[in-house]
Amino acid sequence: MAQIRLECVSKQFGTAQVVRDVDLDIADGEFMVLLGPSGCGKSTLLRLIAGLETPSAGRILLGGEDITRTSPRQRDVAMVFQSYALYPHLTVAKNIGFPLRARGRSKDEIGERIRAVASALGLQNHLDRRPAQLSGGQRQRVALARAMVRDPGAFLMDEPLSNLDAALRSATRTELIDLHRRLGSTFLYVTHDQVEAMTMATRIALLNNGRIEQVGTPTELYDTPRSTFVAAFLGAPPMNLFDATVIVRAGELHLVADGVDVPLGLPADSATGPQKVTAGIRPERLRLRGADARLRGVVTASENLGSEEIVHVTVGGTVIRVRALRPVPAQIGDAAALCVDPADIQLFDSTTGRRLVWHRLHEHEASSRDASLSVA
Ligand SMILES: Nc1ncnc2c1ncn2[C@@H]1O[C@H](COP(=O)(O)OP(=O)(O)O)[C@@H](O)[C@H]1O
Ligand SMILES: [Mg+2]
């Protein structure tokens, strides 16, 4: 079993707090992606699990066993580095077999494992070459093969695709998904690339400044982000976020801002006061045409993506991006009236950035309900 558990793990380098109180459970056989901007502590977290760094506080468990102080070699994990870290003077075969030789396995066993792993990754015809004679994609496979050769319970991968060109990256993503399915091992994969995370992960842990912001399936993070940070990190372009106020009008809640007036379709107690919020709408949830215009502005720019267009509409002082199929019935300088389904509007606390949900405070006999905003 190779489930990985982090309990309140922190790491400090001098006075710099790089990983902060991280709790994370990675199930056996899961493909977990650690996602986050550059410098948020992803590599450090991976190196802590590999044993290449020691936590300042907290515990790390592998298969239920405390490995916080276990040497890297004694851990049933294998690491694949961004730089591949191949030995340039050794052949592909010797590079792949290195972890087994280091553990004193027999020549026969080593030869057999090298052949098996090399053929699984399509490297069988390159075994006598040296890394310099391989393409970037082939080097990346050798690094993977070297990790696979010991048949570890868990693979730790640090941005393994970042040195590949776009076409090869996309092909290799598919191969990694397939490899994960065939091996059934636990994958913990670090990247700053949301596309890699969305396409490969069974679950994503999104890191922000050393802390976990949200853990969930790609769909959960995309559809119900717990904070404006998550909302703004996922999606290209990301979720539109703007300051607005929730007010009560004729017993119903409305979202209003300069150029914005949307009935939220929710009943309100008259005691509910105006509340400042950050509103969020995904660009693909806005329509340039429709019966009920809710956001009014002017088209100020547009980006042609070939199949689609990203239309920039300035509403109040804010640029709202709309993803629309081409051809788009709007030109720069045109007035734009945008439609949105109230269910596609997300609300966040304007101070903390935390997601707000509609919470029923009281159930009355007559089934009228008091609604109130509360932090998720
Ligand atoms: N050995 C180290 N000594 C001091 N600071 C470090 C060390 N390793 C990483 N850091 C710092 O910790 C922060 C997080 O680094 P890292 O884990 O590499 O981030 P990421 O992989 O998310 O880009 C960075 O500010 C980095 O400079
Ligand atoms: Mg890194």
User: pLDDT digits over 196-255, tens only?
Assistant: 999 999 999 999 999 999 999 999 999 999 999 999 999 999 999 999 999 988 888 899
**pLDDT per residue as tens digits for the range 94-145:** 999 999 988 889 999 999 999 999 998 889 999 999 999 998 889 989 999 9
Q: Is the pLDDT of residue 368 over 90?
A: no
Backbone angles phi, psi at 286, to 5 degrees: -100, 145
- Residue among 9, 13, 52 whose CB has most ligand 1 atoms within 8 A, to mutate: 13
pLDDT above 50 (res 365)? no
Q: Got the DSSP string for 120-174?
A: HTT-GGGTTS-GGGS-HHHHHHHHHHHHHTT--SEEEEESTTTTS-HHHHHHHHH
Please name which ligand lies nearest the alpha carbon of 37. Answer: 1
CA distance 306 to 303: 9
CATH 2.60.40.1760 assigned to 240-375: no
Closest-lying ligand 1 atom to the alpha carbon of residue 158: 21
> 13 CB less than 6 Å from ligand 1?
yes
Distance 57 CA to ligand 1 centre (A): 17
As a whole number of angstroms, the distance between CA 370 and CA 279 comes to 21
15 close to 6: Cβ distance less than 8 angstroms? no
Mean of all residue pLDDT scores within the chain: 91
Measure the CA–CA gap between 300 and 158, rounded to whole angstroms. Answer: 40
DSSP code of residue 285? G
Q: Quick check: do 4-226 and 240-375 share a fold?
A: no
Pairing verdict, β 31-35 and 186-191: parallel
Measured from the Cα of 38, ligand 1's closest atom is 23
Where along the chain do its domains lie? Answer: 4-226, 240-375
Which residues touch 162 (CB under 8 Å, ≥6 apart)? 82, 191, 193
The confidence score (pLDDT) of residue 360 equals 38
How many angstroms does the Cα of residue 44 sit away from the middle of ligand 1?
Answer: 6
Calculate how far, in angstroms, residue 155's C-alpha sits from the geometric centre of ligand 2. Answer: 16
Coil, strand or helix: which one is 272? coil
Residue identifier of the C-alpha nearest atom 6 of ligand 1: 13
What is the helix (H) or strand (E) element at residue 220, kind and residue range? Answer: helix 218-223
Chosen CATH of 4-226 out of 3.40.50.150, 3.40.50.300, 3.40.50.720, 2.60.40.730: 3.40.50.300
Confidence of residue 364 (pLDDT cuts 50, 70, 90): very low
CA separation for the pair 18, 151 (Å, rounded): 31
Question: 2 C-alpha vs ligand 1 centroid, how far in Å?
Answer: 26
Q: Which of 143, 206, 207 is nearest to 176 (CA)?
A: 143
Q: Does 5 have pLDDT greater than 70?
A: yes
**Residue-level pLDDT at 363:** 35
Residue 37, ligand 1, Cβ within 6 A: no
Q: pLDDT tens-digit profile of 322-362?
A: 999 998 988 999 999 999 999 999 999 999 999 987 543 33
Residue identifier of the C-alpha nearest atom 18 of ligand 1: 43
**For residue 339, what are its two tokens?**
């439609």
Q: Is the CB of 43 under 6 A from ligand 1?
A: yes
Please report the pLDDT score of residue 359 as a whole number: 45
Collapsed DSSP state (helix, strand, coil) of residue 49: helix
Dmax (CA) for the chain in angstroms is: 82
pLDDT of residue 166: 86
Burial class of residue 63 in the structure, from the number of CB atoms within 10 Å of its CB (0-12 exposed, 13-18 middle, 19+ buried): middle
How far is it, in rounded angstroms, from Cα 332 to Cα 300? 5
Q: Compute the C-alpha angle 164/167/169, nearest 5°.
A: 45
The answer, yes or no, to whether any atom of ligand 1 lies below 6 A from the CB of 15, is: no
pLDDT digits (tens, 9 = 90+) for 171-186: 889 989 999 999 999 9
240-255 pLDDT, tens digit per residue, is 999 999 998 888 889 9
Q: Which long-range contacts (CB under 8 A, 24 or more apart) does 205-208 make?
A: 205/24, 205/32, 205/33, 205/34, 205/35, 206/35, 206/36, 206/230, 206/233, 207/34, 207/35, 207/36, 207/40, 207/41, 207/42, 207/45, 208/36, 208/37, 208/40
pLDDT at 370: 40
Which of 10, 44, 194, when mutated, tests ligand 1's pocket best, judged by the most ligand atoms within 8 Å of its CB? 44
Q: Relative to the CA of 16, which ligand 1 atom is closest? A: 5
Q: For position 358, what pLDDT does the model report?
A: 59
Residue 39 CA, ligand 2 centroid: distance in Å: 7
Find out whether the beta carbon of 38 lies less than 6 Å from any atom of ligand 1. Answer: yes
What's the pLDDT score for residue 168?
A: 85
Measured over the CA atoms of residue 363, residue 369, residue 371 and residue 376, the dihedral's sign is: positive
One-letter identity of residue 217: T
The distance of Cα 188 from the centroid of its chain, to the nearest Å, equals 12
User: What is the helix, strand, coil percentage profile of the chain, to 5?
Assistant: 25, 40, 35
Q: What's the gap between Cα 77 and its chain centre?
A: 22
Judge whether residue 89 has pLDDT over 80.
Answer: yes
Residue 41 CA: nearest ligand 1 atom is 17
Q: What is the pLDDT of residue 374?
A: 60
Mean pLDDT, residues 72-76: 91
Predicted pLDDT at 372: 52
Reference 352, options 319, 330, 325, 374; nearest CA is 374
Q: With a 6 A CB cut-off, is 41 part of the ligand 1 pocket? A: yes
